[in-house]
Every structure is written in structure tokens, then in C-alpha cells.
């Protein structure tokens, strides 16, 4: 039990505009992390270690990217009991993102729609924040998620990813290459055959050079969309193997609206997350597991709002899971619920 029941905090936060509530929460996390005030959200840590991509994950629940885009609250989020925390997406240069409003709650569906568009303070500010965090000293894993600036033409996208990779490399336990946000024009086109082949070829070659320079080989994961057919997933799986990528994160938000049609805000542009993306994400995970075999690391994300949902994701083929929207609806208690459910699943 935390000091403040999340149901109470939520009823206050949900009266605010979604992005204001987000900023308010992050500002308070940043202010209180590493102080006694973190008792307001601190959770017991559930140990459930698993080795994946050569990394020892202390438990199987992580924070998904996009909640802490500027890496301001790594320790505060860590206190909630995550075994791994992924921050970003960071782009080489700072950028404002899309005009507000750009986050919408759909409470009846336990969902969000966002079209933030990688609003962030850029690589330098991000790295400065990452360096301040103590999280990694406790054996927890930090993932750094990279993307491209909106102003960079898609034909030069690789340049942005290479700059970002070199910048985050020395500070990351793993790096996530995010090519699946629906809110940066043409980004998802990077998931298609030739574009993906070129991008991953360039990134894995640069990784070899960085591994020599820093004396450490940092695993790289690719984050993909749920809106892919079986053939597209098959091509992605083959390309991941071809380039020696270390894992895949499935999935990002969906453009589909069938599960929320008729609800207020359902027609807002952007990516839909939370309960309505769960089955779409599980479908992609199943396809990936089939195509990649039993040993390729898969991080499952999309629509986890309970321990049961997380167990279902592992059964679909994921090795570990991440949450974002569930944290907004259920609060830090969800981290413990998920970590415990997965720990018990292993014990059985």
C-alpha cells in the first residue's frame, strides 16, 4: 500500500487536462524522488530475475517509453518497483511536438489517444538527466529509446538514429530503436523491407564501432507497431535476425479505432493505447514468436491493466512486459500486481 491511495490521486488528476496532469505528476516525481517523500508512491520490489539478451532483468515488468521522455524521473519511477525503465523517445535536437491538446482519455475503454509527436528537450538535456539517476546502481536496467526529429526528411532518418545511438550508447543497458510512432510523418514507413534493412544495417555497423570504443556491447531492440499484417511481421523478423538485433518490443500504439468507436474522443488523430490495443499487440507477439523461434527476446507491451493481462502476454510469447496506460488508470500498485503475477507464473 502506498501512502496515498491511487484512486484518490486519480480522481484529482482526472479532473485536469490529460497533459497538465501528466506534467504535474512528473514534476512531483522529479521533486520527490530520492527523498523520504517517495513513500507516496514507493512499492515493494518483487524479485523475479530473468536473463534476456545477455542482460539480467531483476523482474519482468518495465515502464514503457514515452512517459518520461526527458529522463527526469528515472529514480521516482524506479521506486514503483519496475525491474527496468525505458525513457525517451529522445531525438537529436529538442522539438516542441504537435499543437495541444494532444493527449485524450477514454476512461470507458481504459484507453488513451495521443499525438504528442516526440516532444522532448533533445539529446544533451536527456543525457544530463540520465547521468543524475541512481537507478542503475541497484541492478535495475535502463533502456534509452531513440527517434528522429520531425524536421529531418525521412530519407535522412538514419543520420538522426546514428547521432542518437552514439549519444545514448555509454549510458544505456539497452537501446530501443523506435520506428513505430504514428505521430511523426512517415516514421512507420521505416518498418518496410528495404528501409528497415538499410536502417538496421547502418545501426548495427555503428554499434560494432561503439562496442569497440566503449568496451561494451549494448543490446539493441526494435520497437514495432501493432498495425502490421503477418507478411510484414515475417519480413521484420527476418530482418532482425539478419542484422543480429537483440530483441523486439511489440507493440506501440494503434491507429485502429474499431474497439472504441462511438466513445468521446475516439476520432481524435493519434495512437490509441490501453485495453483496446491488447489483443492487437498479442497477435503481433504470437506472430513474432512463431517467426523468431523460442529464444529470440520479445518484450510485450500494449494494454496491460492487470496481472492477468501480463500473464496472457507471456503466454502469447513475450519474455518480459512493459506498461504505460495501465499505470495511468491503475497507479503504481499495478507494477506490484504484474510483477507478482509473473513471479507466481514462473513458480508454477
Ligand X SMILES: Cc1cc2nc3c(=O)[nH]c(=O)nc-3n(C[C@H](O)[C@H](O)[C@H](O)COP(=O)(O)O)c2cc1C
Q: In the complex, which residues of this chain contact ligand X (CB under 6 A)?
A: 64-66, 69, 89, 103, 112, 114, 116, 118, 145, 178, 181, 223, 252-253, 273-274, 277, 301-304, 323-326
Active site residue 306: no
> Which candidate, 253, 236, 147, places its Cα nearest to that of 196?
236
* 43 vs 181 by CB, closer to ligand X: 181
Residue nearest to ligand X (CB): 66
Residue nearer to ligand X on the CB measure, 34 or 141: 141
| Nearer CB in complex with ligand X: 65/163 | 65
Is residue 271 within 8 A of residue 254, CB to CB? The reply is: yes
According to DSSP, residue 60 is labeled S
Closest CB 274 distance from ligand X, rounded Å: 5
Q: For residue 183, what are the β-bridge partners?
A: none
- Nearest approach, Cβ of residue 188 and ligand X (Å): 12
Q: Read off φ and ψ for residue 14, nearest 5 degrees.
A: -75, -10
Torsion of CA 52, 57, 59, 60, to 10 degrees: -40
CB–CB of 321/335 below 8 Å?
Answer: no
Q: What are phi and psi of 50, to 5 degrees?
A: -150, 140
Beta partners for 323?
Answer: 63
Give the ranges where the chain is alpha helix by DSSP (H): 6-13, 18-32, 74-78, 123-132, 157-168, 193-214, 230-242, 278-292, 307-316, 325-330, 333-347
Residue 153 beta carbon to ligand X: minimum distance, rounded to whole angstroms:
20
Helix, strand, or coil (residue 236): helix
User: What's the rounded Cα separation, in Å, for the pair 286 and 295?
Assistant: 13
Q: How far is the CB of 178 from ligand X (least distance, A)?
A: 4
> Smallest Cα–Cα separation from 200: which of 231, 241, 163, 167?
241
Residue 164 — left, alpha, or beta (φ > 0 → left; ψ -120 to 50 → alpha)?
alpha
> Among residues 207 and 280, whose Cβ is nearest to ligand X?
280
Q: How far is the CB of 212 from ligand X (least distance, A)?
A: 28
- In the bound state with ligand X, the residue whose beta carbon lies nearer, of 9 and 304, is 304
Tell me the C-alpha distance between 47 and 60, whole Å: 9
Closest approach of Cβ 84 to ligand X, in Å?
13
Cα–Cα distance list, 152 to 117, 166, 218 (Å): 13, 18, 26
Minimum distance from residue 110 beta carbon to ligand X (Å):
9
Catalytic residue among 180, 181, 273, 281: 181
d(CA 230, CA 64): 24
Cβ atoms 74, 193 nearer than 8 A: no
Residues with catalytic function: 181
Amino acid at each position: 500500500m502506498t501512502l496515498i491511495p491511487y484512486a484518490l490521486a486519480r480522481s484529482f488528476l482526472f479532473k485536469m487536462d490529460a497533459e497538465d496532469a501528466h506534467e504535474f505528476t512528473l514534476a512531483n516525481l522529479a521533486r520527490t524522488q530520492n527523498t523520504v517523500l517517495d513513500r507516496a508512491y514507493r512499492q515493494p520490489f518483487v524479485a523475479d530475475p530473468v536473463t534476456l539478451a545477455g542482460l539480467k532483468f531483476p523482474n519482468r515488468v518495465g515502464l514503457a517509453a514515452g512517459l518520461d521522455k526527458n529522463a527526469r524521473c528515472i529514480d521516482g519511477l524506479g521506486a514503483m518497483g519496475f525491474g527496468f525503465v525505458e525513457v525517451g523517445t529522445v531525438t537529436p535536437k529538442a522539438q516542441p511536438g504537435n499543437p495541444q491538446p494532444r493527449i485524450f482519455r477514454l476512461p470507458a475503454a481504459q484507453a488513451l489517444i495521443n499525438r504528442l509527436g516526440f516532444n522532448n528537450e533533445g539529446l544533451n538535456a536527456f543525457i544530463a538527466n540520465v547521468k543524475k539517476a541512481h537507478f542503475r546502481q541497484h541492478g535495475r536496467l535502463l533502456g534509452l529509446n531513440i527517434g528522429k526529429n520531425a524536421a529531418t526528411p525521412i530519407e535522412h532518418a538514419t543520420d538522426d538514429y546514428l547521432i542518437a545511438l552514439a549519444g545514448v550508447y555509454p549510458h544505456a543497458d539497452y537501446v530501443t530503436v523506435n520506428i513505430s510512432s504514428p505521430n511523426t510523418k512517415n516514421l512507420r514507413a521505416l518498418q518496410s523491407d528495404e528501409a528497415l534493412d538499410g536502417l538496421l544495417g547502418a545501426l548495427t555497423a555503428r554499434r560494432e564501432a561503439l562496442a569497440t570504443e566503449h568496451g561494451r556491447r549494448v543490446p539493441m531492440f526494435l520497437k514495432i507497431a501493432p498495425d502490421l499484417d503477418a507478411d510484414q511481421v515475417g519480413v521484420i523478423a527476418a530482418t532482425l535476425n539478419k542484422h543480429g538485433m537483440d530483441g523486439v518490443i511489440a507493440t506501440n500504439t494503434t491507429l485502429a479505432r474499431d474497439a472504441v468507436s462511438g466513445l468521446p474522443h475516439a476520432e481524435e488523430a493519434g495512437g490509441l493505447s490501453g485495453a483496446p490495443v491488447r489483443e492487437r499487440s498479442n497477435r503481433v507477439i504470437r506472430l513474432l514468436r512463431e517467426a523468431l523461434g523460442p529464444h529470440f527476446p520479445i518484450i510485450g507491451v500494449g494494454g496491460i491493466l492487470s496481472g492477468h493481462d501480463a500473464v496472457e502476454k507471456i503466454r502469447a510469447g513475450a519474455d518480459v512486459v512493459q506498461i504505460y496506460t495501465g499505470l495511468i488508470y491503475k497507479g503504481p500498485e499495478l507494477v506490484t500486481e504484474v510483477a507478482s503475477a509473473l513471479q507466481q507464473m514462473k513458480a508454477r
